[in-house]
A and B are shown apart, each in its own frame.
Chain A
Amino acid sequence: MAAVSVAGEWQLLYNRFYRKLTIYSMEWGRIDLSRHRVAAAPFGGPVAAIRDDSKIVQLYAESARRKLLIFNAAGCPLASAVWDRPGGRLVGMAWTDDQVLVCVVQDGTVYRYNVHAELCAPQFSMGKECFEQGVVECVFWGNGMICITEGFQIFCVPDFKNPVPCKLADPGIEEYPLCLAVIEPQYTMSGNVEVLLGVGDHVLVVEEDGVQQLGVGVGPFQKMAVSQNGKYLATFTHDGRLLVILTDFSRIIFEYTCESSLPPEQIAWCGLDSVLLYWDEKELLMVGPNGNPVSYLYDEPIRLIPECDGVRILSNSSMEFLQRVPDSTVSIFQVGSTLPAALLYDALEHFDKRSAKADENLRLIRSSLAEAVEACIDAAGHEYDLSRQRTLLRAASYGRAFCSQFPRDHFQEMCKILRVLNAVRNHEIGIPLSIQQYKLLTPPVLIGRLINANHHLVALRISEYLGLSPEVVIMHWASAKITASPAIQDTALLDILLDKLRLCKGISYAAIAAHADSCGRRKLAAMIVEHEPRSSKQVPLLLSIEEEDSALVKAIDSGDTDLVYLVLFHVWQKKPALDFFGTINARPLARDLFITYSRFYKHEFLKDFFLSTGRLQDVGFLLLKESWKLEKNPMASKGSPLHGPRIRLIEQAQKLFSETKEHNFESKAAEEHAKLLRLQHNLEVSTKQAIFVDSSISDTIRTCIVLGNHREAMRVRTEFKVSEKRWYWLKAFALATVRDWDALEKFSKEKRPPGGYKPFVEACIDADEKAEAIKYIPKLTEPRERSEAYARIGMAKEAADAASQAKDSGELFSRIKLTLGQNAAASSIFDTLRDRLSFQGVY
């Protein structure tokens, strides 16, 4: 029976089954692990190898120069590069979570490579102390690393994305530690990494700000490994015991005494259930909390690669995966299993053989059919073997036919996952993910890894298949295509690119154009960026490829003034002033923005601009503005204002205005302004009162009259050709202000006022002097005006009389009534209202 042969390959560790599957036979020729330093990335990632220079090895038919070799997990070569990095021996090498290969050499220099064996980020140093003392050993996790120097100091890079080395507390030891391990930051209290050092008979926990001693007397420890969840520590003691301890050393979980006290070469966790110990080219021992360990024999060197759900075992010839057999698989294939899933699987076999026993089996498990189907689907997910996946899914499908309420999507979902897993497990791609690893890794990350390895087509298919946006894939493809096609002409390459880019809405053409530019293909970049719909992305790129004119046009079109300013300052900095002026003068928005900015900040430069574009009048306005600024600045009016800077500025402005034809008014106004200022200054000197400067002509006249200086008032009047009418208004009000009623009367009798007596009436009413007003009201010619004036001083009868003389008196009457009436009536209404409300005491 098939089921028997499946279970026959399992090993029993106490009460749990383990299986060791051979996933690939390695296709890397004569690579010998014993002669190489090897770094294999988790999640079925690539393997990097460099010939080990700490060992004396015999060279076969190979170059004496060492090479960095990169393979996929099936041993297919991906890339290689000569390893000639200075800085001494290679002391550490590992892949980060982002699949960057980090290589640390003796002097503390850190090099970073991508899967194509290209340096992908700038090298950096772990610091002066590392350089001086020399780095001995490194321990890596996720995206971080610690290293220890010959002076027993520990340095840490918490995250390679932002590689800033920091020093941990001095452990204060005099001997090199027996072994090292780290607890990842995500599992520590402090959120920072904790380094475990096996020293003497105990462990030192070293953190950024302190050292702590743990497990005194339990050791000495020869080897250590921290479990995937950071909770347990597996250690091998000097007397040959394997101890599994909580990482805070509060409890020993179990203890196993090995036959030999020789420390193993490698120690690793297999899931969370067992610990693997490997002695060089001899034995791999799997130890669990209970029962006898399982032993595997190897006659070739191996590397243990811990995964979240097992351990991959890499040897010269094969890649194996050792894991605990999943429960669903056990339920189906365990010898003698009578669980529903096993019976369902069996039923399918009978069905295929057209045996009636199929039906019998089904009837037996009728009540738990759904559970059996679920188990078959789950077990299929854990299989690497295609035909067994198929058989298990068929079993599930067979059972589902009799199980109407079983959710369809579980089955479909599993089929999808398996198609993806099988695709990437293909040895050419060589990513042997288990279903659990795949779920932990997530599809987008997997797609990211595929495109980094240039498997764009598979990546695109997978994203489409899973309904993810193909944007990432297409972006990466386009960039890679540009890099890889230096021989293809710009237009041809553009067509190739556009063809694919069109597949994806909202893709960033600007980013691809930027890449083209960085590959030295500026023309291609310009052609690509033309297709970018987002101006905020397009404009900066156009600037970076020196397409300023086009950038300015696009920025203006976008309506985003911020972009226009961006271009403006860029061009301003780059071009000589005259060119710059020419560029912006042709575009109103750019010009206006420039003027706005310069008004605030670059006055002199703005003057240059106006002069160079022939806008003399605008220079004139600027000068006027400067003169007003001086007005606000009290310091400026010190000294002699007559020849002071203000008047000089105004005169300059006047000159500029007069040079243009269309600005006669401005020219005249500036001239008079200067004249007025001078005159006002003289007045201030003669009256010794600083109240004239910067008032209007009207105000100046009024002030003069109020001060009783009628001669000066007259002079201002003639100087500035103030009209008679205006003169009467001004003088009448001024006299009323000082309440010089005699003078007012005299003034009214000088001659017949040119605009009538209205100014006199208004002035008196304004000053609240009824008696005076009455003198002039009868002299108003219009009965309407008379009537209104009477009304305003509350003389109802006279108002009515006057109104009756007016032509259309009806309307006037009612209005007068309103004016008179509203006062009394309205206020009385409100007064009573207020009285009524006040009983409340609200206010």
Chain B
Amino acid sequence: MAQIPSLDNAHLNLASLREQSQKELLNILKNIRGKKCLVIDPKLGGSLSLLIQTSLLKENGAELRHLSAEPVETECTRILYLVRPQINLMKFISSNIQNDLSKGVQREYFLYFVPRRTVVCEKIFEEEKVHHLLTIGEYPFYLLPLDEDVLSFELDLAYKECFVDGDTSSLWHIAKAIHKLEFSSGVIPNVRAKGKASTKVTEILNSLQVEEPINSADMGIPEINTLILLDREVDMVTPMCFQLTYEGLLDEILQINNGSVEIDSTVMGGGQQDGKKIKVPLNSSDKLYKEIRDLNFEVVVQVLRQKATSIQQDYAEVKSTSQSVSELKDFVKKLNSLPEIARHVNLAQHLQSFTCKPSFHARLDIEQTLLELQNYEICFEYIEEMIHKQEPLVNVLRLLESKSNWLAIARALQLIVEDTDTANPNDISYIFSGYAPLSIRLVQHAIRSGWRSIEEIMKLLPGPHVDLKRSVSNSSSSQDANPVFQSNLDRIADGRRSLALVIFIGGITFAEIAALRFLSSQEGTGYDFIVATTKMVNGTTILETLMTNNS
């Protein structure tokens, strides 16, 4: 199965978005004649693996390398750097070039910034006196489809940069990406944002519309009806909770990177080669995965058992009695799904070896207690014990993240739900076996009635919120919506489902995506969701970005 997901069933034309990005990348390669060495910064390389097959790059005469402080080992005389505009990466490039100069190696250097060139990066080259050697270009790649309903801005440090360093570059990036998207999908008429970063993105988005207006007159009805922006900061509790959906658990335990997990081949029932890692792609192109990814893990085990049992029964029947050809055909069809079933049985078994540990249950207990704010003392004792046992720092920190006003919020938004039926859920609280993620509750309110009805609660959460209607006509006053158009919109909303773009600044967890998918499958929601995030995260990766020292 391919690592690059199929986007055919997406609610928005994401396939053309991806094709455009592919084309632009190939054009960059084609414009540099002859053989060249393509040097990519490793993080970006991961993103590109979901965009384009490496074989395609090689076909265009590119030899692939990862950017590091080490000099580039290649015979090519043309070097093409493809990097995000980050200062530390610029230092690597400078030292690469200086190394060549000192050895008297003559090369042509091309540098393409993703998504755009920046003054601060070029400044480094000027300081290092290599600027004149570089031919600089831009590769405007702002948005990467991870799956048919998930987009990523691939800004893994956004949370830290914005909230710790005060560097808001990523907010401009997000606004620009939305604006670019709007050029093909139309101006999104309703915008709801919560949090400092989200409201800032809304502001930038408006000023971009002034700078480069989208002429919506000739575009018809906008494809996306509502844009919901949330700061991760608004809800730091949810990502700290251990995810209990199948996909969430895979991420927590095995780390999903760029839409796949890397695990020991023995886990997948492979041969005896020890320590050999294999990549297992995980996206909706795998039909079984699509079906079970968002289920609570308990349920997944049952589903898999059922499937396997039914096949086994069929197999027994095939062996024992003579059957009609059509029955055989059905059976063979079922057999086609066998590799998928086998794959997930292997994965699930691997996960279960973690989930059956008592420490796992103890931890879930504590999480639940924390969320219900019943007994702080037990929690602190537990945490202290963890410190004594010298568990990894990250785990400790995850539990320490607690919140003021939590109780009021939790009550008002019914975040703690007793009696959840994980097999036949009727509320998003099934995701965490009884806790409904705050972030998704907010989304739920946003599309149902706007945030005005929960104004008081919104005030308890950090950061300002805005709720605005953007005029679709090109008139100068952007606040009042055109009444005729508005009624038009409402009428359409009656007829078919609307599309909402939900953006998480600072990352989203798989469990939250699962909750959104569940929400849209519920009758009466009337909305499909497309999620865009700065990066897929879980509690561990969020804290890791905050802890790392990337100097």
Contacts and interface: CB of A to CB of B under 8 A. Distances in A.
Contacts of A826: 301, 352, 356
Given A559-B175, A565-B119, A819-B358, A836 B166 contact: no
A762 B359 CA distance: 11
A788 interface: yes
A591 B166 CA distance: 9
- Count chain B CB atoms within 10 A of each CB in A534, A593, A628, A837 and give the residue with the most: A837
A597 B120 contact: yes
B313 to A, nearest CB: 10
B341 to A, nearest CB: 7
A665 interface: no
B388 A729 contact: yes
A622 to B, nearest CB: 11
A412 B119 CA distance: 53
A840 B308 CA distance: 12
- Count chain B CB atoms within 10 A of each CB in A566, A600, A792 and give the residue with the most: A600
B356 A829 contact: no
A810 interface: no
Contacts of B27: none
Contacts of B312: 836
Nearest to A730: B388
Contacts of A628: 549
A792 B358 contact: yes
Interface stretch (B207-215, B458-466, B510-518): B207-215
B91 A600 contact: yes
Contacts of B389: 729, 733, 762
Contacts of A837: 308, 338, 341-342, 345
Interface in B294-348: 301, 304-305, 308, 311-312, 315, 335, 338-339, 341-342, 345-346, 348
Given A562-B118, A601-B127, A842 B203 contact: no
Contact of B356 (A725, A733, A823, A834): A823
Contact of A840 (B118, B172, B335): B335
Contact of A830 (B91, B335, B352): B352
A256 B123 CA distance: 70
B207 A535 contact: yes
Interface residues of A, number: 59
Contacts of A625: 549, 551
A593 B87 CA distance: 12
Contacts of A593: 120, 166-167
A788 B342 contact: no
A588 interface: yes
B180 interface: no
B549 A842 contact: no
Interface in B171-211: 171-172, 175, 200, 203-204, 207, 210-211
A839 B352 CA distance: 23
Nearest to A572: B123
A595 interface: yes
Interface string A724-739: 0110011001000000
B549 A561 contact: no
Nearest to B353: A827
B551 A599 contact: yes
B167 A592 contact: yes
Contacts of A560: 172, 204
A834 B118 CA distance: 55
Interface string B57-73: 00000000000000000
Interface string A593-606: 10111011100000
B43 interface: no
Contacts of B22: none
Nearest to A816: B358
A558 B308 contact: no
Nearest to A534: B211
A266 interface: no
Given A729-B388, A759-B388, A819-B356, A569 B123 contact: yes
A829 B172 CA distance: 52
Contacts of A561: 118, 167-169, 172
A597 B88 CA distance: 10
Nearest to B265: A843
B166 A506 contact: no
Nearest to A592: B166
B390 interface: yes
20 contacts: A533-B210, A536-B211, A559-B168, A559-B203, A560-B172, A562-B119, A565-B120, A592-B166, A593-B167, A597-B123, A600-B87, A625-B551, A698-B390, A699-B390, A733-B390, A822-B352, A833-B304, A833-B308, A837-B308, A839-B315
